[in-house]
Amino acid sequence: MNHEALQEFLDRQFQLYNRSNFIINDPISVPHRFSTLQDIEIMGFWTAVLAWGQRKTIINKANELIHLMDNAPFDFISNHSEKDLERFENFKHRTFNYTDTLYFLHFFKKFYSTHHSLEQAFIFSGFEKEETVENMLITFHKVFFNDEFAPHRTKKHVPTPTSKSTCKRLNMFLRWMVRKDNAGVDFGLWNAIRPSQLICPLDVHVERIARKLHLIERKQTDWQTAKELTRNLKRFDVADPVKYDFALFGTGVMEKNGMIF
């Protein structure tokens, strides 16, 4: 496709999938159960971290966590007792286990005791001058694990660009929190980080379609690949390139089901 045709295709697919009826079958439906900032942040982040495998399973596991937190994540995290933690002993999703769960609860309780929003864990002096969220993700990783109780094993669930990871799930969470429009899918609750700084979440569907459309030429699949894709998407919308995550992901899912391409 030439530039104009590709622009038309991406915009059309974005409009097709950036709709409220997208929510129900997507992990973003989990934080959409809540209306307060901290509940949305906690379950948005936790759901994003658990987001590998079938979407139905991811949603069920995240909802199981909500049930274990008495359907009030922020209140539970702020006020739970040590005995309350025993109920999480059998919670597991793939390689995410009890040890990881306890540390997430510990981190959130400690962090929210001195901060209003999780966005504050990503930003630093001069962050607004950054072209992308790369250094913000590195900062968050340091903040998240800056604790004597931080288990080494949990680091695989909260990656950093310094390890060359695509950081797909963290970039998805940031999209949920930062992007702003009237479609009602992304929350747009954070105002410090700009949509133009976001990096496109690079999952298997997005990558496959992006390579077909020659938005990715790099052979590897790593952090630099996610940056390459985002740079190319900025040719079509420099202020909000990650909106095309909807277009690429939706097209990829439909293609997998034999309904497109």
* pLDDT in the model for residue 256: 60
- Domain-embedded: residue 104: yes
**Residue 57 within a domain:** yes
Which amino acid appears at position 164 of this protein? K
Instruction: Look up residue 55 and give its DSSP letter.
Output: H
- Amino acid 42: pLDDT: 98
Q: Which residues span the domain enclosing 46?
A: 3-118+126-256
pLDDT, position 245: 97
Q: What is the pLDDT of residue 257?
A: 53
Give the total number of structural domains in the chain.
Answer: 1
Low-confidence ranges of the chain (pLDDT < 70): 255-261
- Assess if residue 49 is contained within a domain: yes
Each residue's pLDDT tens digit, 51-75 = 988 999 999 999 999 999 999 999 9
What is the predicted pLDDT for the residue at 254? 76
Q: CA-to-CA distance for 126 and 107, rounded, in angstroms? A: 25
Task: Quote the strand ranges of the chain, DSSP E.
Answer: none
What is d(CA 258, CA 253) in angstroms, rounded to the nearest whole number?
9
Domain membership flag for residue 54: yes
pLDDT at site 253: 83
Would you say residue 154 lies in a domain? yes
pTM: 0.96
Does 31 reside within a domain?
A: yes
pLDDT at residue number 1: 80
Any domain includes 224: yes
Which residue has 């630093």 as its token pair?
124
Q: Report d(CA 171, CA 168) in Å as an integer.
A: 5
Measure Cα distances from 101 to 34, 85, 189 in Å.
20, 9, 25
Q: Is residue 261 part of a domain?
A: no
